[in-house]
Structure 1
Amino acid sequence: MFRTIRWFIYFWYSLISLIPDVKKVKKLDEQGDIAQKDQIVYEKASNWAKTLVELSGANVNIIGEENIPKDEAVLFVSNHQGSFDIPILLGFIKKPKAFVAKEELRKFPFISKWMEYMNCIFLNRSNNRESIKAIKQGINNLRQGYSMVIFPEGTRSEDGKLGEFKPGALKLATKSKVRIVPITISGSNNIMKKGSFIISPAEVDVMISKAIEIEEGMDKDTKSLTENIRNIINDNLEYKEKNI
C-alpha cells in the first residue's frame, strides 16, 4: 500500500511542478519554434513517464529496439494490457511519439495539455463525425513526421489475452503510407489490475517486431493487413506464455 500511496503523491506533485514547463512550451508554440517545443515536450514527458513506471517497481525489458526505423515517422501498433502501457511506451522506447487516446482523457487536468502538445489525438467513439476528424488529424501528424501509437483493441484486456482489433484501426498507416511497427506488451496488466488502484511490481516485456511496409492497395482493404499485425502480436504473446 505504501508503494501505491507514494506513486499517487508523485503523480500529482510532478504534474503540478511541470506547470512552468507547460507555459514555456506554450510560448514556444506561439512563437513558431516547433523544433524546440517538440524537444522539450519529448524530454519532459518521457522522463516523467519513465519515473512513474520505475516507482511502480516494474522491471521493463525492451526486446528488438533495433527494429524501429530511424529518421522517419512510424505507426506503432500495440496490444493493450493495462493502465501502464502508455507510460511504458512513452518512457522506454526512445523515439518521440504521440498516442491515439480515448476522449475521456481530455478531462484529466494537466495531462491533457501535455498530450495536446505531444500531438496526441482524442477519439470520441460515440461520435462518428468527431472520430473521422480525429483520424484525419492523426494521418496529417504522421505525414508531418510525428510517430504515433494506436491500441487497435480499443480497450484494455481483462486477462492479458489479445482481443479483436477494431475495423479500420490501421487506416492511420495505410492513408499516410508510414511503416507499421508491431509492439507486444506482456505483463503490464500485473502492475495495476483492471478495476483496482493497487500498484504492484511486475516483470514486463516489450517486444518490438520488424517494421511492415504499406503496399499499394492496402488503403482500400485493410483486413489482411490487420490480421497479419494481430497474428504477429498474438504469436509473441503465446511464445512468452509458453516460456514463462
Structure 2
Amino acid sequence: MTTTAAEAVEAIRTGPAGPEIGAFFDFDGTLVQGYTANAVYRERIRQGQIGALELARTIVAAVDGTVLGGNPHSIGEISFAALRGRTVDSVVEIGERLFVQRIAGTIRPEARDVVRAHLRRGHTVVVASSATRMQIEPVARDLGIPHLVCTELAAEDGILTGHSSTGMLWGERKAGSVRAFARGHGIDLKHSYGYANGSEDIAFLGSVGRPYALNPHPVLRRAAEEYGWPVLMLREPKSPGLRAYLGTVAAVAGTNTGLAAGVAYGWLRGDRRQGRNAGIELAARTGLTLAGVKLNVVGAENLEKCRPAVFVANHQSTLDVLVLGALLRRDFTAVAKKEARLDPRMLVIGALLDPAWIDRGDLTKAKQSLDGVVEKLRAGVSILILPEGTRMPTPSLGRFKKGAFHIARQAGVPIVPIVLRNTGELAWRRSLIVNPGTVDVAVLEPVDTSGWTAEDVDQRVAEVRQRVRDTLADWPREVGAR
C-alpha cells in the first residue's frame, strides 16, 4: 500500500499521543536525499586529506559491503581510523559547515512535515542511524528532533581515537540500539513509528508497530509488500532541469529589461519615483513569469492596509527579491548590508531602489544610515527589511535583529510581517538557478508600534518572530492564487 505525506500526517494526527509513543527516523536516504558521507568525503578530498591508499581501501570496502554482501562495517572502520588525532571541535565544525553548504538543501520537504506532526503529538522523536553525530546533529537540530541513536566516535580529552564507542549502527545492531533506547525511555514500541529506506533497516522497522518504508530501495519495497508495511513516497528536493536553466536566464534578462524600462519611463516623465514604481513591478512580474514561478498569497489585503510601513520577511533564497518586489510593487525601498552593494545581481536593483546600505562593522555609520531610513518613512516611503540578516539554509528561522523594530518605533509606523514558505525549495540559498513552481506567501496583520518603548523592543521582536514561526508551522488554509 502506497501512502502520501498528507495521509501519513493525518494518521499521526488522529493516532495516539504522548511521549511513550516513539517516532524513529533513519537519516541518509530518509530525512535527507542521498548520503551525507559523500559530502564529507568530497570535503576531505578537496582539502587533500585523503590519500590514494585510503581512497582505494574505501572504494573496495564500499563495494564489498554493499554489492558483494561482505562486511558493511569495514568502511566505517576505515573512516574512523582516518579521523585519529583530530579534535572533536574540528569535526563538529566540519559538520556544521557542510550542513550549510551542502546538506541543508537535501532535506526532504515533506519529511519536515512528518517530523512536525510527531512533535505536535508529543511523541518522542529520534534519529536512528549508522551515520555519526557530526553528520546528523545539524539536521536534527534544524528539524527539532531532540534524540539521536547513532554511531558515536570515541574520544579522549577532546581528541578522536580513531575508533567508535558504539560500533557502526548498521542492520541488527541499529535495531538493537533502538530497542535499548525504547526500554530506557519508557517507549511502547508496539504503538511507535519507524521510517527507513534501505534493506539494512528491515530489522529496525520490524521492531516498531507502525513501520513505513520511505522512498524504499527495491529490496525493502519487496519486504514491505510481504509484511504489509505501507510505502511512504515523499517528493525529493528539486533539481534544476533544462526548463529551470532556460527560465532563469530569461528571468534575469526580463528583470533587467523591466528595471531599465522603469528608469527610462521615469526619466521621460521627469518623475523618478513613478519610474521606480513602474520598473519594480514590471521587473518582478516579468522575472517570475519567465522563471515559471506563481504566487499563492494569503492576506494580500494587509499589504495596503497601512502604508508607509516597515515590511519584514524571512529570507531563504535569492528568489525572495523578486517575490517581495511583486508583492510590494510601489513606494518602497530596502535596507541591505553594505557587502551586497558589490554583488552584480544588486547593481541595477540598487540603482533603482536606492536602498539604505548598512555598514554592520561600523556602529556610528550604521546608526546614521538607519536615521536616514526613518526620514524616508516619514516621507511616505515604506521600507523592506529582512531581519535575519542573511539567507537561511532551511525554512527554520534565524534570530531576528532589532534594527527594523527600532526604525518602526521611531517613525511611528506599523510592522507588516511577510512569511515566505518555500522559496528555498525553488531556489536553494546557494543556487543561482530558479526551478519553476508555486511560492506560498502569508501577509500577516500589521503590528501597531505606537505604544512601544525602547525598553520593550526585545519583547516585541520575539513576539513578531513567534508569529512568523507559528505561521510556518501551521500554514493558513485560505490560499488564493494571485
Q: Tell me which interval the TM-score lies in, with the shorter structure as reference length.
A: 0.7 to 0.9
Name the aligned partner's letter for residue 322 of structure 2: P
Aligned counterpart for 1:15 among listed residues 256, 265, 271:
256
The CA deviation at 1:114 is 4.3
Q: Deviations over 1:165-185 (max 9, x none)?
A: 124441110111101111111
The CA deviation at 1:127 is 2.4
Alignment of 1:70-109 (within 5 A): 70=305, 72-108=307-343
Give the match's secondary structure for 2:370. helix
Distance 1:40 1:137, change over 3 A: same
Asked if residue 200 in structure 1 is aligned to residue 435 in structure 2, the reply is yes
Alignment of 1:107-146 (within 5 A): 107-108=342-343, 111-112=346-347, 114-146=349-381
Distance 1:53 1:14, change over 3 A: closer
Q: Is the 8 A contact 1:98 1:115 kept in 2?
A: no
Give the match's secondary structure for 1:68. helix
Q: Distance in 2 between matches of 1:53 and 1:13?
A: 9
Give the match's secondary structure for 1:181. strand
TM-score normalized with structure 2 length = 0.45
Q: Distance in 2 between matches of 1:129 and 1:25?
A: 34
Q: Deviations over 1:70-91 (max 9, x none)?
A: 4730111111121111210111
Distance 1:16 1:107, change over 3 A: farther
Q: Is the 8 A contact 2:255 2:286 kept in 1?
A: no
Q: Distance in 1 between matches of 2:260 and 2:403?
A: 37
2:454 corresponds to which residue?
A: 219
Distance 1:50 1:120, change over 3 A: same
Give the match's secondary structure for 2:456. coil
Distance 1:111 1:168, change over 3 A: closer
Alignment of 1:222-237 (within 5 A): 222-237=457-472
Q: Deviations over 1:173-218 (max 9, x none)?
A: 0111101111111111112112223321232111111111113342
Q: Deviations over 1:16-53 (max 9, x none)?
A: 6855753664687xxxx5xx321111111121112212
Q: Distance in 1 between matches of 2:460 and 2:381?
A: 22
Q: Distance in 1 between matches of 2:258 and 2:359?
A: 30
The CA deviation at 1:121 is 1.1
1:174 corresponds to which residue?
A: 409
2:245 corresponds to which residue?
A: 4
Give the match's secondary structure for 1:170. helix
Q: Distance in 2 between matches of 1:204 and 1:40?
A: 27
Flag structure 1 segments of 5+ consecutive residues without an equivalent: none
Identity, in percent, stands at 24
Aligned counterpart for 1:44 among listed residues 262, 279, 295:
279
Q: Distance in 2 between matches of 1:164 and 1:110?
A: 25
Give the match's secondary structure for 1:60. strand
Q: Is the 8 A contact 2:318 2:427 kept in 1?
A: yes
Q: Distance in 2 between matches of 1:17 and 1:8?
A: 14
- Compare CA radii of gyration and give the structure with the larger one: 2
Q: Distance in 1 between matches of 2:314 and 2:345?
A: 26
Q: Deviations over 1:133-192 (max 9, x none)?
A: 221111111111101111111111111111111244411101111011111111111121
The CA deviation at 1:102 is 2.2
Q: Deviations over 1:75-122 (max 9, x none)?
A: 111111211112101113444321112223322458435434434211
